[in-house]
Structure 1
Amino acid sequence: MNREDMLARLVAQAEDEGCDLVTLRAVVEEASDLGAVRVLARMGLADDSAHNDLAELRQLLGAWRDAKASAWKAAVGWVVRAVLALLLFAIAVRFGSGNLVR
């Protein structure tokens, strides 16, 4: 018996006997399991290699996040160095060392 048949039987049981809490929980559980299976199938993750695919995607996403963080740190470092160099140049010009630059 597959999940669709199980869900159909539970719904029929709920209609015949009335819906007690146990039957309602069973209907909800089977419906959610069936929905999850359909979603995974639509996304192409219903095969045996889906776990490996997701693990690779997580590794790729982690590497992307690390690279992005490193790029931001490098960019901030370069900006800070440029600001400090300009500040040092302005101080040198202010104290009369501008002739050495020319």
Structure 2
Amino acid sequence: MHEPSASLQNIVHQASEEGVGRETLYHLIEKATEEGAARALADLGLQDCKASGDLSELRALLESWRETRRTVRQIVLRWIIKIVLTSLILGLAVKMKLLHLGPAF
């Protein structure tokens, strides 16, 4: 269980001074947070038994998207390197008169 925040501790202290038992108050807080979490999941459409499968599927989809982005980035970089190196080799071949391209226009 997490440590309660300072404001939560203040509420518990104040409730204790007013006669509410700490244990009762913590049970109320725990129940309220559980209901709040359940409501938030329901608002997101993740309250049913398929929710964990949906989240697993979304995580797999997101990982696939990230892998695809990495792969595309690598492919683009390889093509840029190939174009630059090919241009350099062609330039050297023309400079060394190993290749004659003739007038451009």
Structure with higher helix content: 1
- Equivalent residue number for residue 95 of structure 2: 94
Deviation at 1:91, TM superposition (A): 1.1
Q: Which runs of 5+ in 2 are unaligned?
A: 1-14
- Matches of 1:63 and 1:88 in 2, distance apart? 37
Specify the code of the residue in structure 2 equivalent to 1:88: I
- Equivalent residue number for residue 79 of structure 2: 78
Q: Could you state the TM-score of these two structures normalised by the residue count of structure 2? A: 0.70
Q: Which runs of 5+ in 1 are unaligned?
A: 1-13
Q: Could you state the TM-score of these two structures normalised by the residue count of structure 1? A: 0.72
More RCO (CA 8 Å, sep 6+): 1
Are 2:19 and 1:17 equivalent residues in the alignment? yes
- Matches of 1:24 and 1:93 in 2, distance apart? 85
- Equivalent residue number for residue 52 of structure 1: 53
SS in 2 for 1:97: coil
Q: Which moved more, 1:82-91 or 1:29-38?
A: 29-38
- Matches of 2:95 and 2:21 in 1, distance apart? 87
Count of equivalent residues: 87
Deviation at 1:24, TM superposition (A): 4.1
- Matches of 1:24 and 1:46 in 2, distance apart? 27
Identical residues among aligned pairs (%): 33
Specify the code of the residue in structure 1 equivalent to 2:67: D
Deviation at 1:18, TM superposition (A): 3.9
